[in-house]
Amino acid sequence: MARPSPAAANPPAGDRRPNRFAAGLTTVPRAVRHQHWAFKVGLVLFGVIVAVLILTPWIAPYDPDATDLANRLAHPSSAHWLGTDQLGRDELSRVMYGGRFSVTIAAITLVLSAVIGIVLGAVVARRRGILDEFVMRLVDLLIAFPEVVVALFLVAMFGTSYLVLIAALTVVGWTPFARMMRGQALEIYTKEYIEAAEAQGCSRSFVLFRHVLPNALGPIFAISWLRFGHKLIIVGSLSYLGLGVQPPASDWGSMLADAQPYMQRLPVLVLAPGLAIFLTALSVTLLGQGLGLAGRRPTREAAPDATAAPVTGTVTAPDVMEKATL
């Protein structure tokens, strides 16, 4: 049983200094070489997908909305690599354009959730008291709450819109970030360098931005990739149900729903968009898992102590949920 030394409890913070992220960008190739294999595979896959999605307007073979009724439900051929759908639209072009919506919404809600969660987590870790109690109860309640039900509730109130879609994903999405940030911050606030900074008269916000946030962001960065995959799948499921992307536009989820009546005749219409969601979600999951494993590896022996030690003491059900994601 190793005692949790400060460095072991928060490995990436001690030696790699993620707060020098901008400086780190210049040494990206060297940094990547030392990462876990899962991270490398995920990074390459995700990079290719994002590049294709960005370049889609230039490299897509057809207009995704151009119908060709004489040539509907065509099998894959050299003209249409993935065939055509029930209105004769080129499936490959539609898969490429459809991804832009799913990935963008997932990214927007991820950033929103992360910012809200990190700010709330940092604030309640400092203030404690009744606010902390309230926020943590809310987290306990929401952390396993199905997003689809939140989305249905908001749609019942305000009708379908992109704002509702983003809100539905953020209402539940901030919770893991808040939990993680709070845990990290509680630990960092007990460190000597915080005491030193406060003794020198540094303001609360200076301590927060100069010491607490930079040291806490490493593990949160890893988990945010895993959340990205989760969001992508949820966006697709809401679009599948008609609560996400709205009719003239389409994304992978709505394409799956549209293709279902024709799947026996032309299975590729169901296979292609589904495979696209799966590969994108898998790439970010590998990325996050690789980052998480790399951060954890040197301290495998100390890990149980490090998670049990924090100031709070009690282990609740959401701890298990969090453990399951990494």
Partner 1 sequence: MWRFIARRVVVLIATLLVVSVLAFLIPYVGTADPARTILQARVADKALDPATVDALRAELGLDQPLPVQYLDWLRHAVTGDFGFSFTSKAPVAQLIANAFSVSVTLALTALLLALVLALPLGIFAAMRAGREVDHGVTILTQVLVALPEYWVAPVSILVFALTLGWLPSAGWRGPAWVILPACVLALRPLAYFARVARASMVEVLNAPYMVAARARGLGTAGAISRHGLRNGMTPVMTLFSLWLASLIGGSVVVEVIFAVPGMGRLLYEAVVNRDIPLIQAGIVSIVFVVVVINTLTDLAYAMLNPAVTVSDGTA
From 54, 111, 145, 206, residue interacting with partner 1 (rule: CB under 8 A): 145
Q: How far is the CB of 326 from partner 1 (least distance, A)?
A: 8
Of residues 54 and 263, the one with the C-beta less far from partner 1:
263
From 148, 194, 202, 309, residue interacting with partner 1 (rule: CB under 8 A): 148
Of residues 61 and 261, the one with the C-beta less far from partner 1:
261
28 binds partner 1 (CB under 8 A): no
Of residues 2 and 115, the one with the C-beta less far from partner 1:
2
Among 118, 109, 179, residue whose Cα is nearest residue 144:
179
Q: Which stretch binds partner 1 (CB under 8 A): 79-87, 104-112, 136-144, 208-216?
A: 136-144
Half-sphere exposure of 102 (CA within 13 A, CB side): 36
Q: Is 90 helix (H, G, I), strand (E, B) or coil?
A: strand
Contacts of 319 (CB under 8 A, 6+ apart): 307
Within 165-224, the residues that bind partner 1 by CB under 8 A are: none
Q: Which stretch binds partner 1 (CB under 8 A): 17-25, 84-92, 216-224, 229-237?
A: 229-237
Q: How far is the CB of 1 from partner 1 (least distance, A)?
A: 9
Work out the number of other CB atoms within 10 angstroms of the CB of residue 146. 10
Q: How far is the CB of 30 from partner 1 (least distance, A)?
A: 25
Q: Is 84 helix (H, G, I), strand (E, B) or coil?
A: strand
2 binds partner 1 (CB under 8 A): no
From 8, 52, 202, 257, residue interacting with partner 1 (rule: CB under 8 A): 257
Given a contact cutoff of 8 angstroms between Cβ atoms, the answer to whether 180 and 223 are in contact is: yes
61 binds partner 1 (CB under 8 A): no
Of residues 79 and 149, the one with the C-beta less far from partner 1:
149
From 149, 163, 196, 311, residue interacting with partner 1 (rule: CB under 8 A): 149
- Record the tokens describing residue 139, joined without a space: 């987290």
Q: Is 273 helix (H, G, I), strand (E, B) or coil?
A: helix
Q: How far is the CB of 126 from partner 1 (least distance, A)?
A: 23
Q: How far is the CB of 100 from partner 1 (least distance, A)?
A: 18
Among 134, 199, 132, 186, residue whose Cα is nearest residue 306:
186
Given a contact cutoff of 8 angstroms between Cβ atoms, the answer to whether 117 and 138 are in contact is: no
Q: How far apart are CA 76 and CA 84, in angstroms?
A: 8
- Record the tokens describing residue 106, joined without a space: 């997932």
Amino acid (1-letter code) at residue 78: S
Q: How far apart are CA 284 and CA 228, in angstroms?
A: 7
Q: Return the sign of the alpha-carbon dihedral for residues 293, 144, 167, 160.
A: positive
281 binds partner 1 (CB under 8 A): yes
Contacts of 149 (CB under 8 A, 6+ apart): none
Within 88-107, the residues that bind partner 1 by CB under 8 A are: none
Q: How far apart are CA 84 and CA 77, in angstroms?
A: 10
From 155, 164, 169, 188, residue interacting with partner 1 (rule: CB under 8 A): 155
Angle of helix 162-188 relative to helix 213-240, nearest 10 degrees, comes to: 150
From 50, 123, 241, 309, residue interacting with partner 1 (rule: CB under 8 A): 241
- Ramachandran angles phi, psi of 90, nearest 5°: -70, 120
66 binds partner 1 (CB under 8 A): no
Residues in contact with partner 1 by CB under 8 A are 38, 137, 140-141, 144-149, 152-153, 155-159, 229, 233, 236-237, 240-242, 253, 256-257, 260, 263-264, 267, 270-271, 273-275, 277-278, 281-282, 285-286, 289, 304, 314-317, 320-321, 323-325
